[in-house]
Amino acid sequence: MKKTAYILTAVGIGIIMLAGFAMTASDVQAAERKIAVAAERPEDDAQISRRTARTPYILIFDGNGELLEIHERPIDRDRQAGPAMAAWLADKQVDTLIGGGIGRNLQRGLDRYRIKGIEADGSAADAVSAALK
The string of pLDDT tens digits covering residues 107-133 is: 999 999 999 999 999 999 999 999 999
Helices (H), 38-103: 81-91
Q: Which CATH architecture has domain 33-132?
A: 2-Layer Sandwich (3.30)
77 by Cβ neighbours in 10 Å (0-12 / 13-18 / 19+) ranks as exposed
Q: What's the DSSP call for residue 49?
A: P
19 by Cβ neighbours in 10 Å (0-12 / 13-18 / 19+) ranks as exposed
pLDDT digits (tens, 9 = 90+) for 87-111: 999 999 999 999 999 999 999 999 9
Q: What does the alpha-carbon distance between residue 106 and residue 58 come to, in Å, rounded to a whole number?
A: 15
* Selection from 69, 68, 36 nearest residue 55 by Cα: 36
Every domain of the chain and the residues it spans: 1-27, 33-132
Contact 67, 123 (CB under 8 A): no
Q: What's the DSSP call for residue 48?
A: B
Q: What does the alpha-carbon distance between residue 60 and residue 14 come to, in Å, rounded to a whole number?
A: 36
- To 10 degrees, what angle do helices 81-91 and 104-112 make? 30
Instruction: Give the per-residue pLDDT at 30.
Output: 61
Contact 102, 115 (CB under 8 A): no
What's this model's pTM, rounded to 2 decimal places?
0.78
